[in-house]
Amino acid sequence: MSLDRVPHRYDLLVVGDANPDVILGPLTEPLAFGQREQLVASGSFTVGGSAAIMACGAARLGLRTAFAGRVGDDDAGRYLRDALAARGVDTRALHMDPALPTPLTVVLTRGDDRAVLTSPGTLTAVSGADVPEELLAAARHVHTSSYFLQPRLAADLPGLLHTARSYGATTSLDTQDDPSGRWHGLGPVLAETDILLPNAQEARRLAGPDARTPHEAAELLAAQGPLTVVKNGADGALCHDGRTLHSAPGLPVEVADAVGAGDSFDAGFVAATLDGQPPYEALRFAVACGGLSTRAHGGTAAQATRDEALAHTGAHLA
């Protein structure tokens, strides 16, 4: 692949996971085995993966967005490539792996909670080699997601983000969950991260046992370098820059499905930051993006346009 070395050809380069999501729910009783069949009210097959959903949200907000990662050379991989492209995301650096299958995730929802089952497929093979340096040179901002699901990429990430910053880009990271429960090894990558975007549960685990609240977690993580932005569900979000704590309440909305809301929030925060907005204003805009994305099932069906998000940022916040 050949890309012109044009500074800031893209507003955003997203690196990481892409997989179809099969979303079923809500469950109204415990999940049953024993070959029992249970019925739920809705099901959808849609774009999944934290990085892929974030890229779609950013493109929906008008950012010139490119994606780098790896999927299988199979029907699911071709679906993802075509779905991302249809939403305005440049997929020339989405590699089609001939040996490994596309990851697949099943999401079971129950109330405001969910269980997530993922078959890793190509996630184990994604690495820094999948990210052309031309893209790092051409992006204003580089975002990556699902740190703990992609061990080869995680090992390469400090160098990758360092290279991006050497070209003048800013960087962000949404770790997502750690299936191993260890939550270790982030020190080198945090040193190259400008914005850290965990949810409240993830923030407390990343910060360690001294973090009893999301506010304490944000302060402890911000002390390690990055502006730390913590998503707190219906309660909104908060951020800490190492000196000052800001918060924004949630957006009142009738929730159809919260899958991917945090990734749409990430897209909003990065978009507002690239617009030159200070953290508190970016937080308000991001809360609107995350909240509005819950209006429909799946992570991308109801993602906000810039005008939609702006229309909600002043109405519910002082």
User: Is residue 59 domain-resident?
Assistant: yes
**pTM score of the predicted model:** 0.93
User: Is residue 1 domain-resident?
Assistant: no
Which pLDDT does position 297 carry in this prediction?
Answer: 83
- Given a cut of 60, whether residue 4 has pLDDT beyond it is no
Question: How far does Cα 243 stand from its chain's mean position?
Answer: 25
Tell me the pLDDT tens digit for each residue of 134-167: 999 999 999 999 999 999 999 999 999 999 999 9
CATH number at residue 61: 3.40.1190.20
User: Is residue 2 domain-resident?
Assistant: no
Domain count along the chain: 1
Q: Between 50-60 and 75-86, two packed helices, what is the crossing angle to 10 degrees? A: 20
- Given a cut of 70, whether residue 127 has pLDDT beyond it is yes
Asked if 228 contacts 239 with a C-beta cutoff of 8 angstroms, the reply is yes
Which pLDDT does position 314 carry in this prediction?
Answer: 58
Structural tokens at position 232: 């707190």
Q: Is 16 helix (H, G, I), strand (E, B) or coil?
A: strand
Which pLDDT does position 7 carry in this prediction?
Answer: 55
User: Is residue 218 domain-resident?
Assistant: yes
**What are residue 32's phi and psi, to 5 degrees?**
-110, 135
User: Is residue 281 domain-resident?
Assistant: yes
User: Is residue 234 domain-resident?
Assistant: yes
Alpha carbons 166 and 189: distance in angstroms, whole number: 15
Domain that holds residue 62: 10-30+39-313
User: Is residue 106 domain-resident?
Assistant: yes
User: Is residue 4 domain-resident?
Assistant: no
Alpha carbons 60 and 181: distance in angstroms, whole number: 34
Q: Is 30 helix (H, G, I), strand (E, B) or coil?
A: coil
Tell me the pLDDT tens digit for each residue of 216-259: 999 999 999 999 999 998 899 999 999 999 999 999 888 887 88
